[in-house]
Structure 1
């Protein structure tokens, strides 16, 4: 349970594990149920196009997401995958929604083992591929 009293649905944890262990999804987007008592799956996708992931984030509503971020490590060393956690809280979202999402984030984040990087997004420039790539590559060098 989070400070806001919001729990995490089994479905949300299963979807995350399907992404992490089963490579079943490229991304999972989470939201709160209508009662604001549980974090549930909003949508899952195996689509590898990052732009389609960004289009799935609503312009005026908060979401959490995990994305199996694949990138080149340069000099022909191949590709790496990092699981990235997104706290999507656009400036245009209702204040109450932003407050509930902010206070529920830690409970979800703690239950997602294996996430390498956290991204806080308030507008699309902060979640653009290049911005995330820069953060992921930086965290990769420090391990």
Structure 2
């Protein structure tokens, strides 16, 4: 089900910057106040995963793309672009419904995502949880 919401052109521009230039570490996206468009909420160059997780609001929905870096057992460095759909249990029901029905408007425009994470609480977006999922998909 689609909500009719569209992604602003700034969303794709920020994603292209993250993906191609590697100057950004993550992007947070949100609905505008009228709930008619997805806009960029925040970008960051900080590689600290905890900063990223702490920037997810406790009672609001967001989407994010995070350039997740990790090491394999052989010591080789890898990265995966992770799409995070953050819809905490404490968010208002209506906000969660619009968020869920608007996800595809953003997600389908982001080419090159390696993994999708659905988060309703902090344990689902914790570094170890994401790392385990990335590791399983890397095999």
Q: Please indicate the TM-score interval, normalised by the length of the shorter structure.
A: over 0.9
Counterpart CA distance in 2 for 1:110 and 1:44 is 20
What are the superposed Cα offsets for residues 72-107 of structure 1, whole Å, 9 maximum, x if unpaired?
01122x110100000000000000000000001112
Partner of 1:48: 47
Aligned 1:1-143 pairs, distance under 5 A: 3-76=2-75, 78-141=76-139
Task: Name the SS for the 1:111 alignment partner.
Answer: coil
Task: Name the SS for the 1:40 alignment partner.
Answer: strand
Counterpart CA distance in 2 for 1:75 and 1:139 is 16
Q: Which runs of 5+ in 2 are unaligned?
A: none
Give TM-score, length-normalised by structure 1.
0.95
Counterpart CA distance in 1 for 2:70 and 2:57 is 25
Give TM-score, length-normalised by structure 2.
0.98
Counterpart CA distance in 1 for 2:126 and 2:2 is 30
Counterpart CA distance in 2 for 1:121 and 1:97 is 15
Q: In the TM superposition, what is the alpha-carbon distance from 1:121 to its structure 2 partner?
A: 0.1
Aligned residues: 139
Task: Name the SS for the 2:53 alignment partner.
Answer: helix
Runs of 4+ more than 6 Å apart: none
How well do the aligned residues superpose, as a CA RMSD in angstroms?
A: 0.9
